[in-house]
Structure 1
Amino acid sequence: MKIIAYGVLTDERPLLEAAFEQAFGDRHELRCLHLFLNRDTAPTAAGHEIVLSSVNDTLDAEVLRALSRGGAELIAQRATGYNNIDLDAARELGLTVARVSYYSPYSVAEFAWALALAVDRRIVRAAHRTREFDFRLDGLLGRDLHGRTVGVVGTGKIGTAFTRIAHGFGMRLLGWDIAENPECLALGMEYVPRERLFAESDLVSLHVPLVPDTHHLVDARMLDLMKPDAVLVNSSRGGLVDTDALLTTLRSGRLAGVGLDVYEEEAGVFFLDKSLEVMTDERLARLMTFPNVLVTSHQAYFTRDAVGQIAGTTMRNIESYLAGRPNDDVLVRPDSSRR
């Protein structure tokens, strides 16, 4: 059986190939491509029954139709999020769609804190200065986090790991989610309405999935509620934040800092080298001009531990599909098998 993987990063490839070798040996064939899956590249999947997609691939109805025509039957997403996949179209085409529902929550939680600390303590600016032997402290004044209030938006596995670290800092804990997490309550978290969380928090970190109800969850109204010297961190999905509203807020001089590992129009930009091109995304380019904004390229999950777990779970999803076994990672299951 032929399997094709899209958007395979250089550091990811050996981990993906090792997991494949352990699971299947030479019984199947794996083809790894660095290019992303979209309408232009979908024809390269012809003849492959299984497609391994990445978070920045585009799997809209047109792409899924092309994959189906080429013989694809299983889409195995190498990520937890799946907002880039048209599940209704997949269902109509009789495709099976699976994802990785769990991997190390510590990878994202720890990186979210790295962003928060880097923004709060102006670490990137300081590092750039010292490389040029400029050792002044002007403009590098930060704040203690101990005793301040953190608002955790979404208290699932990643949000809970983030909360444990906040508890270690000695922070007051506010949370918002559709259900209260006993682990967070045990740490002293108080669940409050979203408006109160944004208004009272010195640091707000986002840890919810991108679904219709959370699209632009951080809009102009929420940003206006935030303290002028608060910090906002998003390591979840770019669409949670209304970029235009954020730019307006930053231009007004509000917010001490923003740490973004994701961006709502990141597809076609993140994971690629754009250094020799003109940046045509004016909103992203404008974000980069603010000295209190730090943007990274969707790397929060990118640890050996997490990527290894993602690869292993992806192979187990393939095994379950081939064996016809039930699998909680399956998002779309056709009414009848086409195999």
Structure 2
Amino acid sequence: MDEEQRGFAEIMIDSGKSLLYILNEILDFSKIEAGKMDLEQGPVDIRDMLNSVMELFSIKAAEKKIELYSEISSQIPERVRGDETRIRQILINLVGNAVKFTEKGSVTVIAEMDHSPEYGPHHLLLSFKIKDTGIGIALDKQHQLFQSFSQLDPAINRKFGGTGLGLAISKKLVELMGGAIGVQSEIGQGAEFQFTIVLEKWREEIVYVEDHLAARLELPDRNSLASGIRILIAEDQAVNSHLLEEMLRKFGGVCDVVGNGAQAVDLLAKTQYDLIFMDIQMPVMDGIEATCEIRKTHPGIPVIAAITAFAGERDREACLQCGMQDFISKPFHSAEIIRVLNTWVPYIHSQKVN
């Protein structure tokens, strides 16, 4: 592309990301209000997660010539158990706001153990502080911060944008995790947001489901990740199926695509496949029913559920009960595809050897 075409393409990408962010916030808020937000429990590396959040905003901070700092207490365990996606979401909301409203100076994130009340032998309390040197918040406006669709000043909103949902969602998520959130600020003196969450201590003696999915294959060339692997994709949405197929082909997979679960069952009776990506909501026969049928004749083939990012724990449990073994979320991201291939390609090769 020439410079003008590249500029238009970047505008399209940024606009798409902005729209997706708004839709995600509205859907999250609706689920929370309806009491349908389920927290998922899995391994969380607080250090890696915080580093990735800071990296996410590093380019924007560099453009504004502000410094990003993070401090993580050595007392925080290497691994805890909680909902990494939602903790990350809270941090992205708060760090994103700090960077947005800071024109000079710095943004600092501090993570440490909170040694206030005891939460039992199997839980711990983590505290996060997000400090900035930005425009600050008037004391008489601070009570509005965590209200849904709240905008403190129309002039500020016109300049900086936003839906007014990020902090409201963050507050609800923090409370779902047994914690609390607050702010200290003055006009022109920056702001400090603090929140605490209760997480489960990681106990090595407990074998969690995700540990069975932890195998990794180290390959020097990602294009060979799925080399020679025959893959069946069951997805009724043309855009989704095309995107997933192109990603898998990029990594060397040989793909066939069908539009519903019944077609997947029929094709599997005629053709040998190594791996199946199965949408959940499809016409004629959905992914749950199709997987139940497949398990009657093909008990060993890995079936990966392709589900919306807003699916709750009950949805995932239904997938596991019918015989699915892993998940990818919509919209698809290459990092998730790489994770799935790294997890299941070694298993597929071992089955062929045996």
Q: Give the TM-score of the pair, scaled to structure 2.
A: 0.30
TM-score normalized with structure 1 length: 0.31
Higher helix share: 2
By relative contact order (CA 8 Å, sep 6+), the higher-ranking structure is 1
Larger proportion of strand: 2
